[in-house]
Structure 1
Amino acid sequence: MKFEKYKSLHALQGIFRFKRLKNSALYLPIILIPLLFASVIFLTIYVYAKVNVRNQNADKKYLYLKKLAAHKNTHKFLNIYWKTPIDEGKPPYKWPEIQKSLSPSSCMACHYDQYEEWKNSRMAHSMDAGVVAQLLLKKMTSKHWKPWVESCMSCHSPIGEYYVEHGGYKGLTAKEKNILKNGSKAQKAMVVALNMLKIPMGRGALSVSCAACHVRYYRRFGPGVKKYMKEGNIVHGGFVPSNAFNHSFFCIKCHQFGHDQRRLDGKLFENTYSEWKRSIYAKKGISCEVCHNPQGSMAFKSIYNKNFVLKAVTIRFKIIHINSGNVHAILSLKNSEVGHDFPTYTTPKVILYIGQENFEKEIYQKTVESYIIGWSVSLNLKKQYFDTRLKPFQTAKLIYDRPLVKAAKYLKAWVVVEPESHYVRFFKAFLKIKRLPKIIKTLMSEALKQDLDSKYILWKKQIKLN
């Protein structure tokens, strides 16, 4: 019995002494598999805990934001709401994919009319070829390009996943590969440029998208809808109503520079909110959305829309007299319904013209006189040439006094709007640079074409000369 006891003990010792076993390698899985299994469990718990903590933090931020949304002081809510880059966090796990998506095309499933209005607006094209060309040029010419690019993105595409350093970029998508294969020259240049900047475009929301204004932490915010649609009874977890969406301060993030930002001759380059704030429209409570987003419209109409501008100004034209072979006339344009300086910013120009025409209605170019309404500055933004913008209810006048051409049959007046006047000059100047990289030239050429196409005749009238 004693011998058998020692024999069994010897066998047990042999199991754990691999050096005594001929095929010890066969026993490695006995040790490694449990260790590997334990490691997987540990990593799963760690990742889950980390995600859970992040989601809990997002929930806390959302609940705080929700509380502020109901507060009368909209400024505090909006200061947090518009903190960029916008970190949407992670979508709720159980939501269907369409509700997790931040793409405007997903919103279209239920908000078709709003999507159709938005897709043709300037908001949908805030990251066009001209913007991307400037961002890429900055990267090519400066070591400190990232902060500059992100400051631009904070308005042109504020959702964090589109920022250079915020994890959205994962290489070329199937959509981008298809563009590189079948797209136009300009489309291919856009894909290459965005990939050089490591800005993803595949999700289809590279713009001031629906989510940029309405989604925080995957919760929806808005101005509120009809009473029968109560919170919690609709998709994506309902929505949080806030009066802030009807306040002009909602627009301040991208339409008003701070006091410490760039000025010229004491004037901020972006000053639209302050222009409105000083006007009678602010005193009457007529906010930005009353004109630009009436009745929930997502068209964001502006200087680019002819009928919209025509309703906001009053134009008058008359011949005073024809005396001693000279014709005297006056063309006036009044800022009758624009709630800020007309036009705002340095970019657009509005030009008044008067000239004489023959019987075939061909203009005599030497008889043409003009007057420019706008803020004209040098391309480097360091010198002001003139500022003739109209404050609310101010009037610009073009006084015409020219010799009458014998063959002239009509006196014609017309008003032209150039929404991208400054950038037309800007891109034309850059395209003259011989060493400009080819991709920049391609993008700027496309931008110049788009900007020239935005020009339109706002109004015209002819008066027959006796």
Structure 2
Amino acid sequence: MTFACGKRLFALIMSPFYFFQSRRRRLKRQKWRKRLRRALFPFLLSLPPTVWGNVNDFALIEGVRIQPPAAAVLSPGTSQPNHPSPIHPLPPLELTAGRVLLQRYGCTTCHQFGKSTPAPTPGPALDAIAHKVSPTWLAAWLEDPFTYLPASRMPRVVLTPTERREIAAFLLGLSPGWRLPSRPDLPPDPYRGSDLFDALRCQQCHRVGGEGGLRGPALDRLGTKTSRRWLYAFLKAPHIAQPGTPSHSFHLVDQDALDLCEFLVRRAPSGAELPDDFTFSEQDTILAHRGLRIAIERGCFQCHAVRSLRGPSLPMPAAASTADSWLDHHRATGETILQFHFLPTARLAMHRALQDTTSIPNPVALPSDFWKLPIPPQGSTPEAYSPENRDLAPEACASCHVRQWEEWRNSRHARSLSPGLLGQLVDEENPGFIQHCLTCHAPLSEQYRTVTDGDFTPDHGITCAGCHVRAHRYFGPAKPDRRLTASRFTGGQHGDAVRTPAFRQSEFCAPCHQSDLAGLAFDGKLLQNTHGEWAASPHSAREETCQSCHMPDGQHFMTGIHDQVTVSRALDLEIDWKLSPETRHLRATVRIHNRGAGHHVPTYVTPAIFVKVALGDERGGVIDGTLQTRIVQRRIQLFENRELFDTRIPAGGAWLFEFASQLPAHAQLLTVVVEVDPDHFYRSFFEQYPSDSVQSASLIQQAHAQILDSPYILFVRTITLE
């Protein structure tokens, strides 16, 4: 059982006190609450060992470390303890740091290590960028790629104006090894180019104005980016202008290519403003040399390759003396040699990485202690790590993982450290109670100190590190084209990142979304049984996991009951009705099918779904006395430890509502409304919560205000009765 058991048992015992609202009883109530805390937590510790489940090795109870008895951790739905995962020992962090630095300084861009093939880069090669883009566009792109392309995968790299100018000088001085053909001196006709665009069916592969195919890039912004000369050359021979691009199925004569080029260039969005053109001296090689250094130091070559910079292959593993000579090579002076003066710790780590090609196979499962909660402190970071690798804040991850961060920061996981939770903790005097709450709401040990000190960051509950970092080792989902194998040295931003398919399995979510077998139960049913419901559903047999619905394609929105689109994909509404002409008696059957969710809907006790059926007149008004309401919910009575009712819809099941009514003379419509209230339980909870301080009352009031608008209409069906 997770920390929620202790919290809910405490709430169970304390619930009667939440209804005292008189100020005269406040001091007396506080006194009794302290007494009950002292009595409650020793009682919890006396429970069977399996009750503790996923908690830390110790709990802070009234300032005293109490070691719970050793116990096997039970997997949801099983009766056998977990066994250690078959994962090989991980290389030391010094080796990982060295591989990070080899990638960061561009070593893996210029040199091929051993007999392995260089790993593919996520960004495009930059060899032909000088021919392809205009200096004005390059200046704007380096300043902020999201201004030009809001969905850009490239992060915002902090550069001074001088550094942007130097990098631009380097990129615009690159030569792809071939010359652009000259444009013929013919007048272009953009209107004829538009007709050619339609006749050649270019939109089957390219999007224009938001419509078209996805095989090729969108073509709306070519005018602000691409030079006419390069675009003309690309239309004539795409496989030459941009190697690796398949040729078109058609051949364009000079006039056709000119007309089509002019049409595409003029499709630039109106109002696009770019800075003045950069001007460079053709003999200013020093500026370009500085630009190369800045590009390396800013990590550009972690994502982009420059084939013209290829250096000699380096046999791996290297002897100690050989590794020294390679690292010393870039301390020498010379116009063609980049000079690097590595810190002693960085040099030592890179030296180690050049001598050791040890890698790890992809583990099938995570280490057995991966979900030891709270997550133990990360410990000291290797000195060779870059600032981004040292920082556990999500904003550090956002420097590269822009899309994932943008999705996460608006998710319920980000807001798990919410005002409603903090309002219950600010007056709490027992650190053990606080730790139990934060075990899943803010699982990093580093977060515990910030919360207790009041120095926490709002909306930073379950962060990137909570799922992806353990002891400064990075874990993530396996990608078929980027797997680590023992015969391949790839380096990478995170060094020896552990890639495992466990991140795509439902068991990954269970530690915080499933009570253990001995967890808190009402009438024999676990309070939290989401993973158990999934395991017993048809979705489990079809290998449709939690991530299939809540994180499709690796998205980090992690939507659920609060999102109307997500719920509408899971449920279907079906209405059958029959009206007797003789008696004017109406019978209607309302069915809600759970076809999409792999668990009960709703799975928790906090939401409620209201199904309302009523008769209406010709204007759509509800006829008095005809409205009937039913609730889809699991409702419990905490302080009586019993379940009041459970009308939830299991996975693959259906919910039924039989509506019967004598039809009034003016009744012409049958209306069915399905309304979802994701925070139904918390409304009365926040209204009755007895805050002991102004800060607590303010937070609880803020939490109550946040859920006022959370209900939404899921379905509305209106049937004309004939």
TM-score scaled by length of structure 1:
0.72
Residue of 103, 112, 115 corresponding to 2:393: 103
More helix by share: 1
Residue of 553, 556, 560 corresponding to 1:298: 556
What is the distance in 1 between the residues matched to 2:702 and 2:717?
Answer: 33
The question of 1:117 aligning with 2:407 is answered yes
Matches within 5 A, 1:103-182: 103-136=393-426, 139=428, 145-163=430-448, 168-169=449-450
1:61-112 CA distances to partner (integer Å, 9 max, x unpaired)? 999xx9998443x2xx354111122221122223232221111122111111
1:222-270 CA distances to partner (integer Å, 9 max, x unpaired)? 0123525867532233521012111111111101111222111111111
Does the 8 Å CA contact 1:346/1:375 hold for their aligned counterparts?
A: yes
Greater CA drift, 253-262 or 318-327: 318-327
Partner of residue 703, structure 2: 447
Matches within 5 A, 1:2-401: 70-72=362-364, 74=365, 77=366, 79-86=368-375, 87-136=377-426, 139=428, 145-163=430-448, 168-169=449-450, 194=451, 197-202=452-457, 206-225=460-479, 227-228=481-482, 232-322=490-580, 324-364=583-623, 366-380=625-639, 382-401=641-660
The question of 1:413 aligning with 2:413 is answered no
1:7-54 CA distances to partner (integer Å, 9 max, x unpaired)? xxxxxxxxxxxxxxxxxxxxxxxxxxxxxxxxxxxxxxxxxxxxxxxx
What is the distance in 1 between the residues matched to 2:598 and 2:561?
Answer: 13
User: What are structure 1's unaligned runs of at least 5 residues?
Assistant: 1-56, 170-193
Greater CA drift, 399-408 or 303-312: 399-408
Amino acid at match of 1:390: I
What is the distance in 2 between the residues matched to 1:366 and 1:445?
Answer: 36
What is the distance in 2 between the residues matched to 1:351 and 1:272?
Answer: 21
CA 1:402/1:235 → structure 2, altered by over 3 Å: closer, same or farther? same
CA 1:95/1:360 → structure 2, altered by over 3 Å: closer, same or farther? same
CA 1:70/1:381 → structure 2, altered by over 3 Å: closer, same or farther? farther
Partner of residue 101, structure 2: none
Greater CA drift, 236-245 or 345-354: 236-245
What is the distance in 1 between the residues matched to 2:359 and 2:535?
Answer: 27
Amino acid at match of 1:81: F
1:275-318 CA distances to partner (integer Å, 9 max, x unpaired)? 11112222222211111111111111211111111111121123
Amino acid at match of 1:394: G
Does the 8 Å CA contact 1:62/1:217 hold for their aligned counterparts?
A: no
Cα offset for 1:399? 1.1
Greater CA drift, 451-460 or 235-244: 235-244
Cα offset for 1:200? 3.0
1:161-198 CA distances to partner (integer Å, 9 max, x unpaired)? 111xxxx44xxxxxxxxxxxxxxxxxxxxxxxx5xx32
1:106-139 CA distances to partner (integer Å, 9 max, x unpaired)? 21111111111111111111111111122235x1
Greater CA drift, 350-359 or 266-275: 350-359
Q: Secondary structure of 2:625's match?
A: helix
What is the distance in 1 between the residues matched to 2:405 and 2:635?
Answer: 35
What is the distance in 1 between the residues matched to 2:557 and 2:537?
Answer: 24
Amino acid at match of 2:374: P
Matches within 5 A, 1:429-440: 429-430=688-689, 437-440=693-696
Partner of residue 683, structure 2: 424
Cα offset for 1:319? 2.2
The question of 1:462 aligning with 2:694 is answered no
Does the 8 Å CA contact 2:609/2:632 hold for their aligned counterparts?
A: yes
What is the distance in 2 between the residues matched to 1:413 and 1:353?
Answer: 6
What is the distance in 1 between the residues matched to 2:504 and 2:482?
Answer: 20
What is the distance in 2 between the residues matched to 1:290 and 1:257?
Answer: 22
Cα offset for 1:58? 11
Cα offset for 1:436? 5.1
What is the distance in 2 between the residues matched to 1:269 and 1:339?
Answer: 17
What is the distance in 2 between the residues matched to 1:360 and 1:428?
Answer: 37
What is the distance in 1 between the residues matched to 2:551 and 2:367?
Answer: 18
Cα offset for 1:160? 0.6
Cα offset for 1:395? 0.9
What is the distance in 2 between the residues matched to 1:266 and 1:256?
Answer: 15
Partner of residue 179, structure 1: none
1:358-416 CA distances to partner (integer Å, 9 max, x unpaired)? 33323335311122111001254723110111212211111111233443332110111
Q: Secondary structure of 1:80's match?
A: coil
Identity of aligned residues (%): 28
Does the 8 Å CA contact 1:69/1:242 hold for their aligned counterparts?
A: no
Amino acid at match of 1:108: A
User: What are structure 2's unaligned runs of at least 5 residues?
Assistant: 1-88, 96-357
Partner of residue 217, structure 2: none
Q: Secondary structure of 1:152's match?
A: helix
Does the 8 Å CA contact 2:374/2:440 hold for their aligned counterparts?
A: no
Q: Secondary structure of 2:715's match?
A: strand
- Answer 1 or 2: higher relative contact order, Cα 8 Å, separation at least 6: 2
Q: Secondary structure of 1:402's match?
A: strand
More strand by share: 1
What is the distance in 1 between the residues matched to 2:686 and 2:459?
Answer: 26
Cα offset for 1:150? 1.1
What is the distance in 2 between the residues matched to 1:69 and 1:80?
Answer: 19
Amino acid at match of 2:636: V
Q: Secondary structure of 1:285's match?
A: coil
